[in-house]
């Protein structure tokens, strides 16, 4: 993974959130501050705003495309800026060069979650990122057979710049050594492995590592098919009368087309959202009518997956609360798999017929 992402080295963990936790705790402690895009996975928001907050580390969430607000939110005690290459579930693409510039101007590293893109579609380190995390459960595995995570260090960031005492002062947890002095460019990785991973206990099991290695072998072939199928599905949905909107950056008139072309020239992945006319009720009818698409919260599987957040994962929120989280009542998230495209569209058409039939009955 270090080679695929173009990094100095990598740390394998039991999950993507475990990889992120190791990254954060290697740099931050009670009294410190993190800056994070608000256009990220809900589990990331919860980890930072609840669990890590209980450790005395505060996080500010800012829209990833509001660069002025992002720059203004940096504090003297900020230790890390976090974002996702492709936001989950909104699909918002981060301007990696701009975010790296903001982070580096303040002497802090940029950590990028590259799960939705995988290193086949984007290598954030080439665009200024210092750290990269992956939920290996998704496209790297490719078959939904195991759970894992990876944390990659570019080896380019100077963690001895005075802003990271956990790395540049004596460590009581590792024989009083100073990581930056003892390990040089490997300082971050050594603390992440020898202290944080050791104490958190989130190691990747050997069998899971083997399964992930099997998946990575076919990553390029799978990603090409994922991207091709996703484009065809998005184009089909965009032309359907019962679809209100389709959020896919590969459309020529998409708001983020320029960023997609810059950072994702091979395609903007296989996970995107679209909106059904009819809101929550339409979403329920659509999901219930599908046969081939699996109703699961996972993404990046060889199988095509679908979920309607408003009636499942976000059903406890009001419409306004969902919109603030980047989820509209009519939103449906697709993770387009490797099946025959005609079969996928046939099944989606069945779901959309159910939406139309329900609307007719309601009228």
Instruction: Please list, in sequence order, all residues whose beta carbon lies within 8 angstroms of the beta carbon of residue 213, skipping any fewer than 6 positions away.
Output: none
Asked whether the predicted pLDDT for residue 238 surpasses 60, the reply is yes
Compute and round to an integer the Cα radius of gyration of the chain.
Answer: 21
Give the CB-side neighbour count of residue 93, counting CA atoms within 13 A: 27
Q: Report pLDDT digits (tens) over 332-350.
A: 999 999 999 999 999 999 9
Query: Which has more confidence, 277 or 9?
Result: 9
- The band of 359, judged by pLDDT with boundaries at 50, 70 and 90, is low
Q: Rounded to 5 degrees, what are φ and ψ at 50?
A: -120, -70
Confirm if 299 and 271 have CB atoms less than 8 A apart: yes
pLDDT score at 149: 98
pLDDT, residue 280, reads 80
Longest dimension (CA), the chain: 73
- What whole-number distance in Å separates Cα of residue 21 and Cα of residue 242? 41
- Cα–Cα distances in angstroms (integers) from residue 294 to residues 22, 87, 263, 300, 337, in the given order: 32, 22, 30, 12, 10
Task: Please write down the HEC assignment for all residues of 71-89.
Answer: HHCCCCCEEEEEEECECCC
Give 40-90 pLDDT, tens digit per residue. Answer: 988 898 899 999 999 999 999 999 999 999 999 999 999 999 999 999 888
pLDDT of residue 339: 98
How far is residue 68's CA from residue 87's CA, in Å, rounded to a whole number?
A: 19
Please write the tens of the pLDDT for every residue from 251-293. 988 889 999 999 999 999 999 999 999 888 888 899 999 999 9
Q: Name the least confident of 16-20, 25-29, 312-316.
A: 312-316
Pairing type for strands 294-295 and 131-135 reads unpaired
Helices (H), the chain: 2-5, 16-25, 42-46, 52-54, 67-72, 96-105, 118-121, 165-168, 179-183, 187-191, 198-200, 206-217, 219-238, 257-263, 279-289, 319-324, 341-362
At residue 161, does pLDDT exceed 60?
yes
What are the percentages of helix, strand and coil residues in the chain, rounded to 5?
Answer: 45, 15, 40
Query: Is 50 exceeded by the pLDDT of residue 185?
Result: yes
pLDDT band for position 363 (50/70/90)?
Answer: very low
Show Cβ contacts of residue 44 under 8 Å, excluding neighbours closer than 6 positions.
17, 20, 36, 82, 84, 113
State both tokens at 279. 């809101």
End-to-end CA distance of the chain: 54
What pLDDT was estimated at residue 320?
67
What pLDDT is recorded for position 180?
A: 97
Say if pTM beats, i.e. exceeds, 0.85: yes
Taking residue 357's Cβ as centre, other Cβ atoms within 10 Å add up to 12
- Judge whether residue 162 has pLDDT over 50: yes
Q: What is the mean pLDDT of the chain?
A: 93
Structure tokens at 89: 């579930």
Average pLDDT over residues 352-359: 87
Domains recognised in the chain with CATH numbers:
2-210 (3.40.640.10), 219-362 (3.90.1150.10)
311 C-beta neighbours (distance < 10 Å), count: 18
Residue 116, pLDDT above cutoff 60? yes
């Amino acid at each position: 993974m270090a080679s695929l992402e173009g990094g100095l080295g990598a740390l394998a963990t039991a999950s993507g959130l475990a990889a992120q936790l190791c990254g954060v705790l290697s740099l931050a402690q009670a009294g410190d501050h993190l800056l994070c895009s608000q256009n990220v996975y809900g589990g990331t928001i919860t980890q930072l705003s609840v669990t890590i907050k209980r450790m005395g580390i505060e996080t500010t969430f800012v829209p990833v495309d509001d660069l002025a607000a992002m720059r203004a939110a940096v504090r003297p005690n900020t230790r890390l800026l976090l974002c996702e290459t492709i936001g989950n579930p909104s699909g918002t693409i981060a301007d990696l060069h701009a975010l790296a510039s903001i982070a580096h101007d303040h002497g802090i590293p940029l950590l990028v979650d590259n799960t939705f893109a995988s290193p086949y579609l984007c290598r954030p380190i080439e665009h200024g990122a210092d750290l990269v995390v992956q939920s290996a459960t998704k496209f790297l595995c490719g078959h939904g057979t195991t759970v894992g995570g990876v944390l990659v260090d570019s080896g380019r960031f100077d963690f001895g710049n005075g802003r990271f005492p956990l790395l540049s002062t004596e460590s009581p947890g590792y024989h009083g050594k100073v990581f930056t002095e003892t390990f040089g460019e490997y300082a971050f990785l050594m603390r992440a492995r020898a202290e944080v991973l050791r104490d958190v206990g989130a190691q990747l099991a050997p069998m899971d590592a083997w399964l992930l290695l099997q998946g990575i072998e076919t990553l390029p072939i799978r990603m090409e098919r994922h991207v091709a199928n996703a484009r065809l599905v998005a184009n089909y949905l965009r032309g359907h009368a019962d679809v209100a909107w389709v959020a896919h950056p590969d459309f020529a008139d998409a708001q983020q087309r320029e960023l997609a072309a810059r950072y994702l020239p091979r395609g903007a992945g296989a996970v995107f959202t679209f909106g059904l006319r009819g809101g929550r009720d339409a979403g329920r009818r659509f999901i219930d009518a599908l046969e081939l698409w699996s109703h699961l919260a996972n993404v990046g599987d060889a199988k095509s997956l679908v979920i309607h957040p408003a009636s499942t994962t976000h059903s406890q929120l009001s419409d306004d609360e969902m919109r603030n989280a980047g989820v509209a009542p009519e939103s449906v998230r697709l993770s387009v798999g490797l099946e025959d495209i005609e079969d996928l569209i046939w099944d989606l058409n069945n779901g959309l017929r159910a939406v139309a039939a329900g609307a007719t009955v309601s009228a």
